Every structure is written in structure tokens, then in C-alpha cells.
Amino acid sequence: MSLSKVYGENSTNNYDPTNETTTEKVPRTPRLDVYESETVYYLRLSIPGVKKENLTVHFKNVTDLEIQGYVKPSHPVHIDRLITQEIFEGPFYRFVRFPTTIQPESIHFDYYGGILEIFVEKNVSEGES
């Protein structure tokens, strides 16, 4: 098995609500782990607080995967003055480009405990691994 690079947009900058100039929040980029075997990619994405109905996993083509969603606010509505925010609320987006083609129809994922696990098969019929 050769080690290959999985590319994607990533920003680990902390969101600072005091610097927000509009009412729309900038999407954050969740942390991601990627593993591979000869035939499968395995991804783990940290997205605590996301409900399944607010989560979308979409293949753009046979190498690109988009993961996006929204964490709804969980504080009482009558408390509206934010002093500091370290627990993320709002939109998130993650783009992943695989170094080999994949089989989009083979995707399998589970979400529990704030971790999204994604399994997707490589297109080994093209001789890639």
C-alpha cells in the first residue's frame, strides 16, 4: 500500500463572534482524519451537535466529496448576548479531493457521538490503489 495525499480545504482558525460584521456566519471547516486500505478510504469528521437532517454528503464527481451542514443554536432564546463562543454553532463545509477515483455508489456512513464516519471504495478496476 502506498501512502497518498487526500487534499481538501482546511482552516483551523477559531471563529471570533466579536469580529463578525454581518449577521451571516462564515462556515467553519471541521477537523478530518483520513485512512486508507488497498480498496477503501475511511474518513472521520468531527461535527458535534449536528442533527442528521442538517447534514449533507455529496459527491461532485469521482474524486471530489463535499460535506456540509449546520449546527443549530442550543442556548435559550431569551438569552441573546454572546460573550464568548468556543462551542461552534452555524454552518460548516468540508471539501475532500481523493488522489484516486472512487465509487460514489459505494458510500457508507455512520454518525454517532459527534463523529461522522465515511467509508468509500476506491475504483480498483482502473488499476489504482
Q: Tell me the Ramachandran region of residue 85: left when phi exceeds 0, alpha when psi lies from -120 to 50, beta otherwise.
A: beta
Is pLDDT at 7 greater than 60 in this prediction? no
100-109 long-range Cβ contacts below 8 angstroms, 24+ apart:
100/4, 100/63, 100/128, 100/129, 101/62, 101/63, 101/126, 101/128, 102/41, 102/59, 102/62, 102/63, 102/65, 103/62, 104/59, 104/62, 107/57, 107/59, 109/57
| The three grid cell numbers given for residue 85, joined into one nine-digit string | 463562543
pLDDT in tens, 64-112: 999 999 998 888 888 888 888 888 889 999 999 999 999 999 999 999 9
Is pLDDT at 26 greater than 90 in this prediction? no
Ramachandran angles phi, psi of 18, nearest 5°: -75, -15
DSSP string, 77-122: TT----S---S--EEEEEEEE-SS-B-GGG-EEEEETTEEEEEEEB
Go through the domains of the chain in sequence order and give each one's CATH number: 12-123 (2.60.40.790)
DSSP letter at 39 equals S
Rounded CA separation 102/71 (Å) = 29
Global confidence as pTM: 0.73
